[in-house]
Structure 1
């Protein structure tokens, strides 16, 4: 049924639920898993809202974000290994999480995206937006949303 399943993780309890489901689905289908996480881009200019930090400090911050992203991917790798599912790990650097996930899905030829939704409603949803909703409405492949 599915050959390559992209699962998005941000390390939250809710995204770990999506990871668990994606791993079990991949095991059932005999699919490969594409573990994806997105880390922020460090703002570089005054108008981007960045602080005037030394390059070494900026590098330390970026490395910290990459280390956190690596830990998120390690969770997926370990879960996939426990179910004997082949996994490819990818980390994107973007401030537009949903767009980065859609680009990764296209680039790696995923045929399903699995992700979590925090289920925000009302004003908080309007103010914060929804990465999941953006993926659902712009994806050219099926999206499985867990919440």
Structure 2
């Protein structure tokens, strides 16, 4: 069935549901699981002329985000082992979340991408965008979306 499954997570409650399902699917099919987080870069300014934060503050905040990502991934490794699933972890630092997920799937020779979707519709979806929708429309791999 599947040999390698990638689960993209941001540590949110909804993405934890996707992680739980991905672990169960990996256990059922004997697949290896790759858990991925994409950590954004801290925006240095939103508008020209906006006050920029000192580099040490930006580095501190980005480190906090990376540390939180590591905690999330470590928890997935523990849950995977408890279910008999081999879990590899990957962190990508990028503002291009969907593109990073697709690139990681190619790099790790993934058979299935698992991710969560908030299920936003209408104006909210238009304004907030959807990384899941972007992955669905641009990936050549199967994508399992959970809500």
Q: Could you tell me whether the CA contact under 8 Å between 1:113 and 1:144 is conserved in 2?
A: yes
The 3 A distance-change label for structure 1 pair 50 and 65 is farther
Give unpaired runs (5+ residues) of structure 2.
Answer: none
The whole-number CA distance in structure 2 between the counterparts of 1:34 and 1:48 is 39
In structure 1, the residue matched to 2:143 is 143
In structure 1, the residue matched to 2:58 is 58
Q: CA deviation at 1:50?
A: 7.4
- Which stretch shows the higher mean deviation, 60-69 or 47-56? 47-56
The whole-number CA distance in structure 2 between the counterparts of 1:5 and 1:66 is 23
1:74 paired to 2:74? yes
Q: CA deviation at 1:41?
A: 1.4
In structure 1, the residue matched to 2:128 is 128
The 3 A distance-change label for structure 1 pair 49 and 126 is farther
The 3 A distance-change label for structure 1 pair 50 and 83 is farther
State the TM-score, normalizing by the size of structure 2: 0.92
The whole-number CA distance in structure 2 between the counterparts of 1:77 and 1:139 is 25
Q: Deviations over 1:92-145 (max 9, x none)?
A: 111111111001001111110000000001110011111101101111110000
Give unpaired runs (5+ residues) of structure 1.
Answer: none
State the TM-score, normalizing by the size of structure 1: 0.92
Give the secondary structure class of the aligned counterpart of 1:141.
coil
Q: CA deviation at 1:54?
A: 2.7
Structure 2 counterparts to residues 16-35 of structure 1, below 5 A: 16-35=16-35
Give the number of aligned pairs. 147
The whole-number CA distance in structure 2 between the counterparts of 1:27 and 1:119 is 27
In structure 2, the residue matched to 1:14 is 14
Q: CA deviation at 1:43?
A: 3.5
Q: CA deviation at 1:42?
A: 2.6
